[in-house]
Amino acid sequence: MAMISRKKRPYRVQEGLRGYLRRHGRLAELPVSYADLTRYDDATPVYDKRGRDTLWQSVLFPASMRKEIHRDLVRTYAAMRVMGNAALMQHLITDRVDVCTYGNTQPFRVRILNTLNENFDYFYVKHADASRLYGLELEDLLSPSRIQYITDGVTLIEEHIAGIPGDQFIREHLGDSRIEAVRLAKEFVKFNERCFVRLLGDMHSSNFVVNVIPDLDEVMVRLRAIDFDQQSYEGRCNVYMPKYYSQNNAVIFLAMSCMTHESVKQYQEEEHALLRLRARAEHEALGDLLHTMSDDELAPVENITRLRQELAHHHRDDRFLRCESMGELVRASLSLLDWE
């Protein structure tokens, strides 16, 4: 089973990546930074509707800065959602700010409330690590769903990806009679393939969500990654395949019970075809990203050396052995789709 035993070190956003973000509209002057949010002076645990600790804490800012921080967070939300048009945001307020002290990166989660109808939305404030930014951009270009994010200096603003957390889905919904095992298995195969082709690691059940979608008389499911820190970092092949994580075993064993080798191969090829179409549709942006990524430092040399050997062995293709960076390995992996 895939295991990540060491904490990944963050990688700074270099000028090459910053230039890409500028060219593709991902840079903005933000009214609030990650550092601003760390100046809270109190925090209380956040519990779910069943009284379980969520590992998030709701923070309280000093009275002297609370109004300003809450106002600037609404303006930040406007920058991401409506390109800064504050006139459309006058009925919005910052309802709550949470921090996850359990994780390595300690992200902040902001809840924005619409006072006209009590509807709310979330967004995240995080450190702008280069690995995470490459992961987000590859997700936007190659996945079935787009994703909104903007950056300013070392601050990253990222939209909330809605869905049932994978671990919660496995615990509470896997036995739902409305969800057909074959359909879930098919989506897991396709999700596994998407992660492996673009080398997104650490996709255990806590790092993806499941969308349950009514479809005529049936129910469809879709799996979406929500954590992009482990984009092209580890040196082992199986880290990039969700099927090797023990946390996903319930879904893996379900798939094994209802899928044949021929079916798995069919769904893999279907996903390859979709990835090829998306890559060709985003040819200019993807080419620009991969060129930038190939010149960037995203992992230790020993990780690159080991991964290129394992990928060459897995695919029986020596093109991987000529790669000198993680970005080049991603480009080589995508080149198997014949998208260029």
SS3 (DSSP) at 34: helix
Structure tokens at 199: 């080398």
| DSSP character string of 238-284 | GGG-GGG-GGGHHHHHHHHHH--HHHHHHHHHHHHHHHHHHHHHTHH
Tens of pLDDT, residues 267-325: 999 999 999 999 999 999 999 999 999 999 999 999 999 999 999 999 999 999 999 99
Contact in structure between 170 and 250 (CB atoms under 8 Å): yes
40 has a pLDDT exceeding 80 = yes
The whole-number pLDDT of residue 3 equals 65
Upper half-sphere CA count for residue 12 (Cβ side, 13 Å): 3
Q: How far apart are CA 88 and CA 86, in angstroms?
A: 5
Q: How far apart are CA 182 and CA 258, in angstroms?
A: 6
Proportion of the chain above pLDDT 90, given as a percent? 86
Contact in structure between 94 and 110 (CB atoms under 8 Å): yes
Contact in structure between 68 and 119 (CB atoms under 8 Å): no
Structure tokens at 155: 């601050």
Answer whether 0.85 is exceeded by the pTM.
yes
The whole-number pLDDT of residue 221 equals 93
Tens of pLDDT, residues 117-159: 999 999 999 999 999 999 999 999 999 999 999 999 999 999 9
In the chain, what's the furthest Cα-to-Cα distance? 64
Contact in structure between 336 and 319 (CB atoms under 8 Å): no
Tens of pLDDT, residues 165-184: 999 999 999 988 889 999 99
4 has a pLDDT exceeding 80 = no
The whole-number pLDDT of residue 18 equals 97
The whole-number pLDDT of residue 5 equals 62
Q: How many CB atoms lie within 10 A of CB 287?
A: 14
The whole-number pLDDT of residue 297 equals 96
Query: In sequence order, which residues have a C-beta less than 8 Å from that of residue 286 and are 6 or more positions away?
Result: 141, 142, 279, 334, 339
- What rounded mean pLDDT belongs to the chain? 94
Mean pLDDT in residue range 98-118: 90
| DSSP character string of 89-137 | GTTEEEEEEEE--SSSS--EEEEEEETTT--EEEEEEEE--HHHHHHHH
